[in-house]
Amino acid sequence: MQKVTIVGAGNVGATAAQRLVEKNLCDVVLLDIVEGLPQGKALDIAHSAHVLGVTSRITGTNDYADTAGSDIVIITSGAARKPGMTRDQLTGINVNIVSQVVAGAAQASPSAVILMVTNPVDAMTWLAIKKSGFEPHRVIGLSGVLDSSRLAYLISRELKVPVTDVTTWVLGEHGQEMVVIPRLNSVRGVPITKMLPDNVIATLVERTVGSGAEVVSFLKTGSAYYAPSAAVIRMAEAVLKDSHEILPCAAYIDGQYGLKDVCLGVPVRLGRQGIEGIIELDLTPAELKRMAKSARAVKQLIKQASAG
């Protein structure tokens, strides 16, 4: 059976572990620096296997040696946002954490695909590529799958349609400069620009950009984890099943969309080796300018991460 390591046994990591075990796709190792935390959560999840009828095994550990030979490493460790914080403000805090985690994980599992969840995810994905020495196609960030799901939810509520009827593509930075192009989002093939007035669409876009902060404002003591964990496991499933599914993810851009040496949310085809290809959408000059602006915001964070 394939093996997936999840680094960070906090809310996102533990929930991702639970979701993955329940899919019965692989064995799971939950790793954290806090002694007892991953062991306890893993044991609790393991106790549900009989009830759920799954045969996947989960173990908790504080030692990277136990993660050796993983097919995928999902990195969730790092500081979470507090009310009033942006994802970007986590850069300085999370650089050292991600650098250490990536080094340990890459040494233990040199053939793995890394899925980055830690924020600011675009810059942390770039950092993980540099610190791991992996080919860029094997390091992928969680961005558009989550943002697109949030937008789909809002569209479904506005139009009173099943969320499964909605197709959404959110590109660019996973942050304030995310790029939502209304004409690319549809309900059963009909663009939302044909169904909703511009002012309503603008409100939905604004709420999508602020969705993570909205959750943080309610929770007070933590950030979102149910939707992020579901989104990263959707990515992991595409890799484990070698499904060639096209999903919007933070990927290393080297010439696509007129951009270079930056990680940014774009549609990618995912398979066993990670990113099999980046899909270049036919964007207008104005839309390409928005992508460039988003890339500049990420490059500022990359500069901070490089200096850290």
Give catalytic residue positions: 174
Are the C-beta atoms of residues 215 and 224 closer than 8 Å to each other? yes
Residue with tokens 């050292």: 96
Show Cβ contacts of residue 135 under 8 Å, excluding neighbours closer than 6 positions. 274
- Burial category of 292 from C-beta neighbours within 10 Å (exposed 0-12, middle 13-18, buried 19 and up): middle
Closest CA to 242 of 279, 278, 273: 273
Closest CA to 67 of 22, 18, 101, 117: 101
Are the C-beta atoms of residues 266 and 298 closer than 8 Å to each other? no
Tell me the backbone φ, ψ of residue 62, rounded to 5 degrees.
-115, 10
**CA dist 105 to 72, 101, 175, Å?**
10, 6, 26
Closest CA to 270 of 247, 290, 289, 288: 247
**CA dist 144 to 132, 165, 180, 303, Å?**
23, 18, 10, 22
Tell me the backbone φ, ψ of residue 202, rounded to 5 degrees.
-60, -40
- Output b/e per residue, 180-197; b: 16+ Cβ within 10 A: bbbebbbbeeeebeeebe
